[in-house]
Amino acid sequence: MFSYYLKLALKSVRRTPILSALMVMALGLGIGAFMTTFTVYYLMSGDPIPHKSDQLYAVQLDNWDPNSPPTQSAKDIQPQLTYVDAEYLMHAATPASNQAAMYRTGAIVEPEGDDQAPFDGNTRATYHSFFAMFDVPFLYGKPWDMQADDRRERVVVLSRAMNQELFGGENSVGRSVKMNETAFRVIGVMDDWRPTPRFYHVDSGGVFSDAEDFYIPLKAATDLVLQPRGNVNCWLPPDGPGLEAFLRSECVWLQFWAELSDEHEASEYKQFLDNYVRSQKDIGRFPRPLATFISPVMDWLDIQEVVSRDNRVLVRVAFLFLLVCVLNTVGLLLAKFLGKGPEIALRRAMGASKNDVFSQNLVEVCAIGILGGVLGIGLAWLGLQLIEKLYRGYQHLVYLDGGMLLTALALAVTSSILAGVYPVWRVARLTPAGFLKTQ
Amino acid sequence: MEIRPILNALLRNKIGPLLIALQIALTLAIVTNSAFIIKERSDYVALPSGLDEANTIIAVTTDFGINLDSKQLLQDDLNHINAMPGVVAAFVSHSIPVSGSGNGQSYAPERDTPSNETISFGNFSGDERALEALDLELVAGRNFRPEEISWRTLDEDPPRKAVLVSQALADALFPDKNAVGQLVWEDRTTPEPSEIIGVYDHMQNAWPSSSFVNRTSIQPFRDISSQDRHFIVRTHPGERDQVLTALEEYFSAERGRMVALIRTFEEQKQRTYSDDIAMVKLLTGVVIILTVITALGIVGLAWFSVTQRRKQIGTRRALGATRLDIMRHFMLENWLITTIGLVLGVVGALALNWFMDTQYQTGRMPLFYLPIGVIMLWLLGQLAVLAPARRAAGIPPALATRSV
Amino acid sequence: MLKMKDICKVYRTELIETHALRNLNLTVEEGEFVAVTGPSGSGKTTFLNIAGLLEQPSSGVYELDGEDVGSLSDRDAAHIRNQKVGFIFQSFNLIPDLNLFDNVDVPLRYRGWPARQRKEAIENMLEMVGLAARKTYLPSQLSGGQQQRVAIARALAGKPRFLLADEPTGNLDSLMARQVMEMLETVNGMGTTIIMVTHDAELARRAHRNIQVLDGQVSDLDSIYQARVDRIASGARGEAGHV
């Protein structure tokens, strides 16, 4: 019977091509708009490191100006640490199983061949523990070790893409890369690694762009005076020019993460931070009331408002838009189905039950829904291309994965059924007698 | 043509008109709120930077060669670029207005002012050509003299004795007196104050969304403490693109540095405001498509309603209704439905605005958006129903007597 | 075959009650050809709708084949319509975007027959009404008489034992009307019980029995009935013998 209904549905769609096209278009546009904004929202608010996001904590210490407003929550204070505090924590015996300080920087990379021009290499300066803590997969080699950090060794871990670009994708471990006219030895090559959003550094801009291409020991980076490319905030300026003064200043510019395996470890770590800040108060630092925060990944993304307000607004607007499209479709379906009164009456006279009529029209509604859904997916794909064009640094946000495609289709069918259920019910309820006399 | 019989008919046949009314209501709510956001954002994007936007080029170069004499190179660069045909003036700063990335500081009129009472501003380094290159008018005081310009290196941060400030910064620092000649303190640690030697009309800082966007200052030094040089080059009208090509060629000649970026100021502004521009474009798209869909929905339902009432219309015609009467009937019917929808929509629009404002700080929508939206949707409804109404008017009176 | 006892049908709106049928009593025997006449508004259509299970009576007893069908569920009523009842309408009521084959197919689909059986039945019926060669035509490509023949084929395809015809010749010219009437007589001759609503007195006279609906009640036109039943009943039996 289903195939018969399907055949009838297609005939019916063809009988009123403009009305049907209008419905498919309305549903398609509504779904397309909603899916576009929702996909961006969904990817923006995704968990970048699902298996351990509850064990990774961003660290904040309130070292700020005594005159600025009081600190009430993690939102109120700087998201980064001073070099002094980061260095202390890196070398202290804290309860954390892993910790890493890091900052984003850049170095001019000169590829070996003459045919390639020097370029600005997107670099992250950090500690060896970065890779274990964030479960970075390796294609070749391995991360550097603690000695390399201590000895300020000039070693580099490359992203898979950069290894492709510089060495044609071969195992480049042991080869040399010239960064700011200094040779760095390749110690490892990452496999594809794209935490989205890039939670460990949520500076404005770039949260959704690719992870860095070069990873070097932080001390090696400061040795080369590689300056931070991210926010640097100082409530007191450095006490003099030059690197040394900057490093000992109250300027915050380092991201700091700790891996804490359970609640107990987290509370011990927090205690440790509090004790550290108290001891620093004795030597005149941390003039404000004691405030330290540790926030697991998903809380951190929320605190830093990684999902833009604009996107939230757009999702809401697109949802209302979809609602209008559904209402529109209800109206048109109602019009269309009531127009089918005589045919329905005839079928009822020929022995079709209300259920038969209901099913027949439901199949038609679903067919329109699926067509609308397919159009919607197409439009969402186009919409995402447009988003990619309009926004900078969104290249990871603009794909539809299988889950989203299914969601789109389910949304399409659900909306069309929602749109269709009243008209279908109304039509099935028509008394057949009235339509048979003289039409 | 009275309203009452039409209204009665509508009430009897509730669901179809109700659907249209709801659509109109939602459309009004979305369109007014979107229009409000679009207007806010466009105004924001259109705020003048103070620069000669159409004729300005920015370039960032990075020195990396170890044997490079950065000071000499920069001096040569400035001499060369200023002598290039088509160039009005060029200078190097340590940040660029409206670029999203810059340098912030604060001044206080007194020494030892608590830090929460100091005045924040965007800080730009520059030289005696800065005012001309940035197209700023000096409102009071004087420009830098060449001998006042110092070099800032990794090891030395020279005191800034003479500074230029924007009118907005001057007003914030010295609301009651002439700022020229006044002393300002950078912070408690600086040993000496700076003197305001001149006030220029207007320039935005690097962050358009900051609360102190119009407070800026230009300080007399050239920064070679980092690898990056930020060039701002103003050209004569119409010669920007040639100059840009020539600049690219010039910068690439030196092997020990690379060009991180070189683009027109207009392009930079587009990038800095890209989120806002995107929002404007997306919401404009939503408004247009939504309007079209709503209009098509009205056409579709009205068309159907005409089909359904052919016989009734024929009968009315047979009883003496003119074509115009029939058209008026449908137009009036649509007007009534639209109006019911708009009443709901006004409430909906206010509720949506309240929600958006409390949740996402979009701001309170001024009430004048509502009457404009109402009038537009009235017109839209009438336009949409025109074709079906004409079709209804074309139904012959003879239909009344025909049985098929 | 069909037995109606004290059937009433009342239509209620907020303002008025309309008594379409009041205490209607009627018995139709298997194989009869009954013509129903009556002025418009007399309740003919309501009677036909109730007889065809399209509407349910407000009160009274309606038995079809000895089974009380007065208050069946929608599904059961649909089932009986499909199995036992065929309809023919004044305006043919063919589905305009289905071809002849698919139109005749409609009741069979709801009967749930396998495809081969349906195909055979449809082709036999179209053969019978002389339109087998045009089975892929759309209704709009046929004349009115041809359309009504398709409608008859459709009504009979499922071999119903009971055929309800509502002004079957009302939209046809006299030549075509005669053809359709002859076809109905043939069908009746093969054993199908027919109730035909008409206002054409000449057609009505060709039925076995004439009843008139007046103000929602049946007045059997007894004298005519008696006179005719003797004459036609023997003929009908005779034809039935051929099948």
- Residue B228 and residue B259: Cα distance in Å, rounded? 9
Inter-chain contact C54–A432, Cβ cutoff 8 Å? yes
Model pLDDT, residue B400: 63
Nearest chain A residue to C160 by CA distance is: A350
Model pLDDT, residue A439: 39
Read off the pLDDT of residues C149-186 as tens digits, 9 standing for 90 and up: 899 999 988 888 899 998 888 888 888 888 888 889 99
Share of chain B above pLDDT 90, in %: 65
Nearest chain A residue to C45 by CA distance is: A437
Inter-chain contact B65–A181, Cβ cutoff 8 Å? yes
- pLDDT of B8 strictly over 80: no
Nearest chain A residue to B30 by CA distance is: A317
Inter-chain contact A432–C111, Cβ cutoff 8 Å? no
Q: Chain B residues with CB inside 8 Å of A65's CB?
A: 115-116
- In order of A83, B280, C145, the CA distances from A287 in angstroms are 17, 44, 102
- pLDDT of C212 strictly over 90: no
First-to-last CA distance in chain C?
A: 20
Chain A contact for B290, CB < 8 A?
yes
Mutate to test the interface with B, among A78, A252, A311, A321 (most CBs of B within 10 A): A321
Interfacial residues of C (vs A; Cβ cutoff 8 Å) = 45, 49, 52, 54-55, 74-75, 77-79, 81-83, 85, 87, 89-91, 93, 95, 97-98, 106-107, 109-112, 154, 158, 166
Model pLDDT, residue A266: 95
Nearest chain C Cα distance for residue A21, angstroms: 18
Q: Chain C residues with CB inside 8 Å of A14's CB?
A: 97
In the predicted model, what is the mean pLDDT of residues B144-163?
A: 86
pLDDT classification of B356: cutoffs 50, 70, 90: very high
Q: Chain C residues with CB inside 8 Å of A355's CB?
A: 74-75
Model pLDDT, residue C224: 47
Model pLDDT, residue A395: 66
- pLDDT of C240 strictly over 50: no
The overall average pLDDT reported for chain B is 90
Q: DSSP letters of A12-55?
A: HHHHSHHHHHHHHHHHHHHHHHHHHHHHHHHHHTS-SSTTTTTT
- Full-model pTM: 0.82
- Residue A48 and residue A211: Cα distance in Å, rounded? 12
Read off the pLDDT of residues B47-76 as tens digits, 9 standing for 90 and up: 999 999 999 999 999 888 777 888 999 999
SS3 A292: strand
Give the DSSP H/E element, type plus range, for residue C165.
Answer: strand C162-166
CB B141 within 8 A of CB B167: no
Chain C contact for A346, CB < 8 A?
yes
SS3 A351: coil
Q: Chain A residues with CB inside 8 Å of B225's CB?
A: 241
Mutate to test the interface with B, among A31, A317, A427 (most CBs of B within 10 A): A317
Model pLDDT, residue A424: 86
Chain C contact for A348, CB < 8 A?
yes
Q: DSSP letters of B147-193?
A: GG-EEE-SS------EEEEEHHHHHHH-SSS--TT-EEB--TT-SS-
Give the tokens for residue A113: 């061949």
User: Number of residue pairs across A and B with CB atoms under 8 Å?
Assistant: 160
Q: Chain A residues with CB inside 8 Å of C13's CB?
A: none
Select the residue of B26, B62, B277 nearest A324 (Cβ to Cβ).
Answer: B26
Give the tokens for residue B102: 């810059």
Chain A contact for B7, CB < 8 A?
no
Alpha helices in C158-197 (DSSP H): 174-189
- pLDDT of C69 strictly over 80: yes
- pLDDT of C223 strictly over 70: no
Q: Chain C residues with CB inside 8 Å of A348's CB?
A: 54, 78, 81
- pLDDT of B288 strictly over 80: yes
- pLDDT of B184 strictly over 60: yes
In the predicted model, what is the mean pLDDT of residues B134-153?
A: 93
Of B13-22, C107-116, C130-139, least confident by mean pLDDT is B13-22
CB B244 within 8 A of CB B78: no
Neighbours of chain C (3+ CB pairs under 8 A): A
Strands B119-125 and B216-219, sheet pairing: parallel
Model pLDDT, residue C236: 44
- Residue B389 and residue B395: Cα distance in Å, rounded? 10
Chain A contact for B171, CB < 8 A?
no
Model pLDDT, residue A434: 67
- pLDDT of B403 strictly over 50: no
Q: Regarding predicted confidence, which is higher, B315 or A356?
A: A356
Q: Helix count (H) and strand count (E) of chain B?
A: 11, 13
Chain A contact for B15, CB < 8 A?
yes
Model pLDDT, residue B10: 64
- In order of A309, B292, C125, C168, the CA distances from B39 in angstroms are 17, 21, 70, 67
CB B185 within 8 A of CB B111: yes
Mutate to test the interface with A, among C46, C47, C94, C109 (most CBs of A within 10 A): C109
Model pLDDT, residue C63: 92
Q: Chain A residues with CB inside 8 Å of B30's CB?
A: 317, 320-321, 324
Chain A contact for B305, CB < 8 A?
yes
Nearest chain C residue to A1 by CA distance is: C109
- pLDDT of B372 strictly over 70: yes
Chain C contact for A51, CB < 8 A?
no
Select the residue of A1, A14, A355 nearest C75 (Cβ to Cβ).
Answer: A355
Amino acid at B44: Y
Select the residue of A33, A313, A391 nearest B360 (Cβ to Cβ).
Answer: A313
SS3 B236: coil
SS3 B127: coil
- Residue A36 and residue A162: Cα distance in Å, rounded? 31
Model pLDDT, residue B13: 65
SS3 A297: helix
SS3 B140: strand
Torsion angle, CA of A347/A348/A352/A357, rounded to 10 degrees?
A: 80
- pLDDT of B115 strictly over 90: no
Model pLDDT, residue A437: 63
CA nearest to C80, candidates C165, C168, C161, C196: C161
CB B94 within 8 A of CB B223: yes
CB B123 within 8 A of CB B95: yes
Model pLDDT, residue C237: 43
Handedness of CA A378, A380, A381, A386 (dihedral sign): positive
- pLDDT of B242 strictly over 90: yes
Nearest-Å Rg of the Cα atoms of chain C is: 18
Model pLDDT, residue B9: 67
Query: What backbone phi and psi angles, to 5 degrees, belong to B188?
Result: -65, -25
Model pLDDT, residue B402: 55
Of A304-313, A355-364, C7-16, C47-56, least confident by mean pLDDT is C7-16
- In order of B72, B106, B348, the CA distances from A372 in angstroms are 66, 57, 27
Beta bridge partners of A58: A257, A295
pLDDT classification of C241: cutoffs 50, 70, 90: very low
Model pLDDT, residue B188: 60
Share of chain C above pLDDT 70, in %: 90
Inter-chain contact B15–A334, Cβ cutoff 8 Å? yes
Q: Regarding predicted confidence, which is higher, A384 or B403?
A: A384
Nearest chain C residue to A342 by CA distance is: C93
Complex ipTM? 0.86
- Residue A39 and residue A404: Cα distance in Å, rounded? 7
Nearest chain B residue to A120 by CA distance is: B260
Q: Which portions of chain A are predicted below pLDDT 50?
A: 439
Q: Chain A residues with CB inside 8 Å of C89's CB?
A: 436-437
- pLDDT of B182 strictly over 90: yes
Give the DSSP H/E element, type plus range, for residue A106.
Answer: strand A98-110
SS3 B197: strand
Model pLDDT, residue C52: 87
Inter-chain contact C78–A353, Cβ cutoff 8 Å? yes
Nearest-Å Rg of the Cα atoms of chain B is: 32
Q: What is the DSSP letter of B366?
A: P
Mutate to test the interface with C, among A4, A6, A350 (most CBs of C within 10 A): A350
